[in-house]
Structure 1
Amino acid sequence: MMCQPDHYPFKVKLLCSIRLWSVGMIATMLSACAVGPDFVPPASPTESRYTSEPQAEQTVVADTQAQHFSAATQIPADWWRLFKSEQLDAVVQLAIAHNPTLEASEATLRQSQDNLRAGYGVFYPQIDAGLNAARERSAPTQQGLQTPGSIFNFVSIGGSISYVLDVFGGQRRAVEGLSAQRDYQLFAHKAAYVTLSANVVNACIARAAYSAQIRATEELIALEGEQLAATEAQVNAGTGAYTSVLSMRSLIAANQGSLAPLKQKLSQAEHLLIALEGVSFSTANLPDIDLKGLSLPLALPVSLPSDLVRQRPDILQAEAQLHAASANIGVATAAMFPSFSLDGTFGVAGSSFGNLSAENGKFWSVGPSISIPLFRGGSLWFGRKAALDAYDQSRAGYRQTVLGAFEQVADSLKALEHDAESLQAQVESRNAAEEAFHLLQIGYKSGLSAYLDVLTADVQFHQANIAYLQAVAQRQQDTVALFVALGGGWWNTQVAAKEGKTP
C-alpha cells in the first residue's frame, strides 16, 4: 500500500517521507559504482619457453636412465611418490600432519577467512541496545538559572540502528581488500605445503646419500685392511718394504678420518627431518631409506610460462598483494567523498523501572546523516597518493616474482641436463677406477705391480665412488627443485585426495 501523507497525522507523514527517501538512497547506492580501479589480473606472459634456446626433449642417458621433458605431463600433488619409496612417502605424510610451520600457516589462513567474514558485516544494519540507570543531581546554573538543584533518578532503555549507504564503494573496496588478503594467506599456505614437502624429500635424499658414502668408505677401509694384512705378511717374509705398511696405515687413518664429517652431516640431515616432522627428538624413529631404493622420475613436466603464473603459490601471493593494493586505492579515494548513513534511536526513560511505560517517557529519532570532508590538511589527498605508490610497488614486486620464478625453472631444467652429463662421466670414472684398482690389487699380490700404483688406484677409486654417489643425489635433488619451481602440483590436490594420497 502506498503512503498518502495528506490523510495521515504528522508523525506518520514523517515516517513515510523517511521511508521513501531511504528507498531512494538505497537504490542510488546500489546503482553507484565503487570508486577506484577495478582489479584486473596481470596479463599472462606470451613466451613459450624459459631459456633462450629451444628446450631439449630429454637429457642424455646417464647411469642407464634419461629424463624426458613434456608440457603434457602433469605434476601430481603428491609428486614425491614418483620416487617410488613407501618409506619416503611415510616421512612426508608425517611431516604434513605434524609440522608446526604448516599448522601456523593453516591458523593464519583461518584468521584471514574470519576477518573477511567479519568485514561483510558492514553491509548489514548495525543494531545496538542499551540500559542506563543513574542517580543524578542537576545544576541549573549551567543553564543560567538561579533555581536550586535537585536530586533525581534516571532510568532508560533504548536501542539504535544505523546503516551506512556505501554510495562511493569505500566499504566494498575494503571488503575486496580483505578478500585479497584471504587469497594471499591461502597461497602462503600452499607455498608452505610445497616448501615443506620439498625440504623433507631433499633431507631424505641427503640422508640416504651420506649413509651410502659412509658405507662405501667403510667398505673401502675393509678392503684396505685386507691389503694391509697382505703387505705386513710380505714385510715379515722379507719381500716388502716396511714403508709400504706405514703408507697403508696412513691411508686407512685418513679414510677413517673422513667418516666423522660424513656422520656429522648425516646427523644434521636426521635432525632436520625430525624438526620438519614436528616430533620429539627423543622419540623420533626415522626409516632407513637406501639411495638405490629411490627411483628417479623419468617423465618430467615443463609447464608453459602462461600456466606457471597461475600455478606457483608465490606468484599468486604477489598477485593477491597487487589486488589488495588496488582495493586500497578505492578505499583511499572513497574517503575523499561524502559519506551517507541512516540512523535511528528509540527507547523509554523514567525515574524508575516501574514508570518506563509512561507516555511522556518514550523517545525516538530517525533520519539520514551526511559527512562531507572539507579540509583535512592534505591527509586524504596524500593518503590516496600513498595508496597509488603502494600499488606501483606491488606491481614491480609481482614482476620480480615472476622473473625469479622463470629463473628457477630455467636453472632447474639446465641443472638436470648438466646433472645427466656429470653423472654419466662419474659412472665411467668410477667403473674405470674400480677396474684399475682390482687389477692392480691382483698384480700387487702376484708381485707384478708396484705398491705405489695400488695406493694411487685406491685413492682414485674412493674419490670416484664418492663423486658418483654425490652426482646421483644431486640429480635427484635437482628433480625435486624442478617440481617445486613449477609450483608443486598443489592444484591437483583434489585428484590425489580421491585416491587417498594427500590431506
Structure 2
Amino acid sequence: MATFALSRYARYPRFGVLAVATCTLAACSFGPSGEPPAMPQPAHYGAAAQPTQTVPAQGVTQQFVVGAKPVPEWWKQYQSDALNALVDEGLRNSPTLAATDKNLAAAREQLRAQIGSSLLPTIDAGGQATRNRALAIPEIGPNTFLYNIFVGQLQAHYTFDLFGASRLANAALAARVNVQVYQFDAARRALAANIVTAAITSAALHAQIDTTERLVAIANDQARDTQRRYVLGAVSHADQLSAQQSAASLAASLPTLKQQWLTTRHALAVLLGRTPDAAPDDLDLARLHVPEQVPVVVPSELLRSRPDIQAADAAVKAAAADVGVATAQMFPTLSLSASMGQGGFSWPVALSGAGAIWSIGASLSQPLFHGGALVAQRRAAQDTYDATISQYKQTVLAAFQNVADTLAALEHDAQALDSANVAARSAQGVFEETSGRYRLGALPVAATRSSEQQFRNAQLDEIRYTSARLTDTAALFQAMGNPLVEAAMSSTPAASAGMPN
C-alpha cells in the first residue's frame, strides 16, 4: 500500500523556479509541522501484563508472540479452504468495497487535477467571429456602420506560488487522499474480519440449534411420561405442570436461535456480494483450527501498522497544511498573463502580418481589508488542527484499548472453554454410564434422559465458548493491523510538498 505523493507533479516553469524555491522556505513556517503528537508507550497493553500463552483448551495452547509482525491474510491460519474461499469471494465481489475503491480513484484524479491547475501555467486557445452594427453619429453622418471582427488567440496565465499557498493546498489534499487510502485498507480488513466472524457465528448457531432441538425432544418425552404417570396417580399435578413448563420453555428458545442463525446467514451473504437467498452453507465448526500463534505488535509499531491510526496521522498532516494555506492567503500574489494571435475586420486582414496582436502583463495583489475574514479563517484552521491532534490521540488510545480487550478476551476464552470442555466430557461420561445401566435394567429411562440433558447443556456451553475463542482470535489478528511497508511510509505528501517533517 503506497500513499499518494506530489513530487511527480510539482515541476514549475523555468522562469519561476528561483522565486518559488525561495518563497517555499518561508511557507514552511506558516503552519505546524504536521507531525503527530508523541504518545506514551506502555510496557504492556492491559491493566496487567499479558501472558505469553493461554491455558490449554481442547488440546490447543495459544501463544502470544510479542514483537511479531502482523499477518496479512490471517484468516488462512484457521486452515479451512471453505473459509478462505468465502473471504476471497467477499473481497472480490463486495459492492461496498468496490464503491470505496472507486471513491479513492476519484479522489486521486481530483488531486492530479488540482496539482496540474495550481502549479503549472494554463494555456487556452480561443476564436471569435462577430458582426457588429454601430449607431450613427450625427456629427459624422446619418448612416450606421456595419463591420466584422475576426480574432484568434492563444492565452497563457500563471500565478507564482510566492508563499506556498498552492503547494500547501495540494499537500492538504494529498494527505486527505492518504486518509482515504488508509480507510480503504481498513474497510478491506474489516470486511475480511466480518466475513470470518459471521461464518464462525453461523456455524456455531447451527450447532446450538441441533443440540437445542435434541434437548426439546428429551423434554417433550419427559413431559409425556410425566403426563401418563400423573393419570396413573404416580406423580402430583405440580410435577406434571413443571414438566410441561420445562418443555415449553426449551421450545420457546428455538425460534430465537433460528432467527439469529438466519440473520447471520443473510448478513454473510450480503458481505459476499450475494442476495440473502443465496447464503452459503454453514462451515463445520469442528473442522476450524484455532491458530496456535498470534502476533502481538509492540505499541510503538502498532502506531504504524494500524490503518485507523495512519488515517488519523494523515488527517493531522492535512490540517497542518490547511493552517499554512490560511496564513499564505494573507500575503501577496503575483500573476503573469500573455496572449498572442491574429485579428482584423476581415479574414484577409486577420490572417496577414498586419493582423498580429499580442499582450503581456503582470498583476500583484495584497489583501488589505477583508473584514477580519482572513484572520478568522486562520484561527479556524488552527482550531481544526488542534481538534485533529486530539482525535489522533483518541484513536491511538482506542487502538491500545482494542488490543488490550482482545488479549484479555482470548485468555478468558481459553479458561472458560477449558472448564466447559471438562464439564462436557464429564457429563458425556455420566450419560454413557447411565445409558449402559438403563440397558441392563438397573435404572429407569428418566435417569437416562436427565443425564443426557446435563450432557447436552454442557455441550451448548462448549459450543458457545469455542465460537467465542475463534471470533476473538480473529479480532486480535484484525487489531494488529498490516505489516509495515517502509517505502510506502516514507512517501508522504508533506515531504514531497516541501513541508518540514
Same fold (TM over 0.5): yes
1:132 aligns with 2:128: yes
Closer/same/farther in 2, CA of residues 467 and 23 from structure 1, 3 Å limit = closer
Counterpart of 2:289 (choices 284, 295, 308) is 295
Superposition deviation, residue 385 in structure 1: 0.8
Quote the Cα distance in structure 2 between the aligned partners of 1:340 and 1:155: 32
5+ long unaligned stretches in structure 1 = 1-21, 495-503
* Amino acid aligned to 1:316: Q
Q: Which residue matches 1:310?
A: 304
The SS at the match of 2:282 is: coil
Closer/same/farther in 2, CA of residues 473 and 299 from structure 1, 3 Å limit = same
Closer/same/farther in 2, CA of residues 371 and 197 from structure 1, 3 Å limit = same
Q: Which residue matches 2:402?
A: 408
Q: Which residue matches 1:337?
A: 331
The SS at the match of 1:310 is: helix
Quote the Cα distance in structure 1 between the aligned partners of 2:19 and 2:61: 66
Superposition deviation, residue 274 in structure 1: 0.8
Q: Which residue matches 1:51?
A: 46
Quote the Cα distance in structure 2 between the aligned partners of 1:281 and 1:111: 31
1:31 aligns with 2:22: yes
Quote the Cα distance in structure 2 between the aligned partners of 1:437 and 1:147: 124
Higher relative contact order (CA 8 A, sep 6+): 2
1:421 aligns with 2:412: no
- Following superposition of structure 1 onto structure 2, how do residues 20-419 of structure 1 map, counting pairs within 5 Å? 26-32=17-23, 33=25, 34-35=27-28, 36-37=30-31, 38-43=33-38, 45-121=40-116, 122-139=118-135, 149-221=144-216, 251-252=246-247, 254-282=249-277, 284=278, 286-419=280-413
Closer/same/farther in 2, CA of residues 25 and 441 from structure 1, 3 Å limit = closer
The SS at the match of 1:133 is: strand
Superposition deviation, residue 349 in structure 1: 1.4
Quote the Cα distance in structure 1 between the aligned partners of 2:185 and 2:469: 25
Superposition deviation, residue 442 in structure 1: 5.0
Quote the Cα distance in structure 2 between the aligned partners of 1:276 and 1:463: 32
RMSD: 3.2
Superposition deviation, residue 24 in structure 1: 6.9
Quote the Cα distance in structure 1 between the aligned partners of 2:173 and 2:136: 51
5+ long unaligned stretches in structure 2 = 1-12, 489-501
Q: Is the 8 A contact 1:87 1:287 kept in 2?
A: no
Q: Which residue matches 1:436?
A: 430
Closer/same/farther in 2, CA of residues 199 and 25 from structure 1, 3 Å limit = closer
| Residue deviations 1:203-252 (CA, integer Å, cap 9, x gap) | 000011011112223344566678789x599969x897697888767655
Q: Which moved more, 1:250-259 or 1:367-376?
A: 250-259
Closer/same/farther in 2, CA of residues 25 and 169 from structure 1, 3 Å limit = same
The SS at the match of 1:377 is: coil
Closer/same/farther in 2, CA of residues 245 and 305 from structure 1, 3 Å limit = same
Counterpart of 2:472 (choices 478, 485, 488) is 478
Quote the Cα distance in structure 1 between the aligned partners of 2:362 and 2:227: 109
Q: Which moved more, 1:428-437 or 1:314-323?
A: 428-437
Closer/same/farther in 2, CA of residues 147 and 98 from structure 1, 3 Å limit = farther
Superposition deviation, residue 291 in structure 1: 0.6
Superposition deviation, residue 302 in structure 1: 0.5
The SS at the match of 1:155 is: strand
Q: Is the 8 A contact 1:336 1:373 kept in 2?
A: yes
Superposition deviation, residue 51 in structure 1: 1.9
The SS at the match of 1:309 is: helix
* Amino acid aligned to 2:463: L
* Amino acid aligned to 2:81: E
Q: Is the 8 A contact 2:297 2:480 kept in 1?
A: yes
| Residue deviations 1:332-378 (CA, integer Å, cap 9, x gap) | 11110000122101122112323212444322111322111111111
Quote the Cα distance in structure 2 between the aligned partners of 1:252 and 1:435: 24
Quote the Cα distance in structure 2 between the aligned partners of 1:268 and 1:490: 37
Quote the Cα distance in structure 2 between the aligned partners of 1:357 and 1:241: 118
Closer/same/farther in 2, CA of residues 441 and 239 from structure 1, 3 Å limit = farther
Q: Is the 8 A contact 1:73 1:299 kept in 2?
A: no
| Residue deviations 1:269-313 (CA, integer Å, cap 9, x gap) | 11001110112334x251331111110011011001111110111
| Residue deviations 1:13-41 (CA, integer Å, cap 9, x gap) | xxxxxxxxx97754122222225234334
Quote the Cα distance in structure 1 between the aligned partners of 2:188 and 2:424: 38
* Amino acid aligned to 1:128: D
Q: Is the 8 A contact 2:95 2:273 kept in 1?
A: yes
Q: Which residue matches 2:7?
A: none
The SS at the match of 2:304 is: coil
Quote the Cα distance in structure 2 between the aligned partners of 1:210 and 1:114: 46
* Amino acid aligned to 2:286: K
* Amino acid aligned to 1:203: A
* Amino acid aligned to 2:208: Q
Closer/same/farther in 2, CA of residues 99 and 248 from structure 1, 3 Å limit = same
1:462 aligns with 2:456: yes
TM-score (norm 2): 0.84
Superposition deviation, residue 416 in structure 1: 0.6
Superposition deviation, residue 406 in structure 1: 0.5
Quote the Cα distance in structure 1 between the aligned partners of 2:77 and 2:150: 74
Q: Is the 8 A contact 1:343 1:368 kept in 2?
A: yes
Closer/same/farther in 2, CA of residues 127 and 421 from structure 1, 3 Å limit = same
Paired residues, number: 468
Quote the Cα distance in structure 1 between the aligned partners of 2:139 and 2:273: 76
The SS at the match of 1:153 is: strand
Q: Which residue matches 1:499?
A: none
Quote the Cα distance in structure 2 between the aligned partners of 1:190 and 1:24: 41
TM-score (norm 1): 0.84
Q: Is the 8 A contact 2:227 2:240 kept in 1?
A: no
Closer/same/farther in 2, CA of residues 349 and 413 from structure 1, 3 Å limit = same
Structure 1 vs Structure 2: percent identity of aligned residues? Answer: 35
Q: Which residue matches 1:497?
A: none
Closer/same/farther in 2, CA of residues 91 and 490 from structure 1, 3 Å limit = farther
Quote the Cα distance in structure 1 between the aligned partners of 2:448 and 2:240: 13
